[in-house]
Amino acid sequence: MRYAIVGDIHSSTKDLEAVLKQVAEVAPDAKLVGTGDLFECTISKRNITDFKYEKMEDVMQLPEGFRDLLTFPSIRGNQEERIVFITNTDDPLRMELEKLPETMQIGEAVVIHGHQWHYGDNPWQKLSPTWKLVFFGHTHRSEIFRNGHSECIRFGEEYEVGKERVIVNVGSVIENREWVLYDEYNAVIRFMKA
């Protein structure tokens, strides 16, 4: 099974369309998976109070046709968590966001957003010791960590991921148009940029 892993879209229709087009050209058989932050919350975390909004449009960017592009499963990111926290409505979209899981298993790998640990932390300290391969986003930087050490990456090149503990940041769709192709059978990943 091959997976096209995308994250940090932040409601960017144009960037997501470009990435989806490349995925369709390069890996049409790949199953799409999201690492969260599908939507952009327009209320910053510094401006959160006890006030609850009743309209989703008041707290998030919802461009025309964007939701139609979200045909793939995803976990929740910090943007989705904030949107759910500051709204009080029976809007079906809010219910969808509330039900997004914190993690997702794809083959032997785990997908998590990455906001669960603080910047500069050793991510392995916050993750289950049974997780050998983890895909995440959040920082908008494509990276690979082997046994806690960051490595330089090159887009389009393959990296083995089956022999040691590896964390992979898939980068961001918004602005960077980055994603990762994970070939589970051959235990390799490829950083991609549309």
pLDDT in tens, 18-28: 999 999 999 99
Lowest mean pLDDT among 69-73, 83-87, 118-122, 171-175: 118-122
Residue 143 CB: number of other CB atoms within 10 A?
16
- Per-residue pLDDT, averaged over 110-132, amounts to 72
Residue 5 CB: number of other CB atoms within 10 A?
27
What pLDDT, on a 0 to 100 scale, did the predictor assign at position 23?
98
Task: Label residues 11-50 b or e (16+ Cβ within 10 Å = b).
Answer: bbbebbbebbebbeebbeebbbbbbbbbbbbebeeeeeee
pLDDT tier, 185 (very low <50, low <70, confident <90, very high otherwise) = very high
What pLDDT, on a 0 to 100 scale, did the predictor assign at position 125?
61
pLDDT of 121 over the 80 cut: no
**Cα separation, 122 vs 157, whole angstroms:** 25
- Per-residue pLDDT, averaged over 1-16, amounts to 98
pTM of the model: 0.93
Contacts of residue 12, defined as CB under 8 A and 6 or more positions apart, other chains included, come to 40, 173, 174, 175
What pLDDT, on a 0 to 100 scale, did the predictor assign at position 115?
85
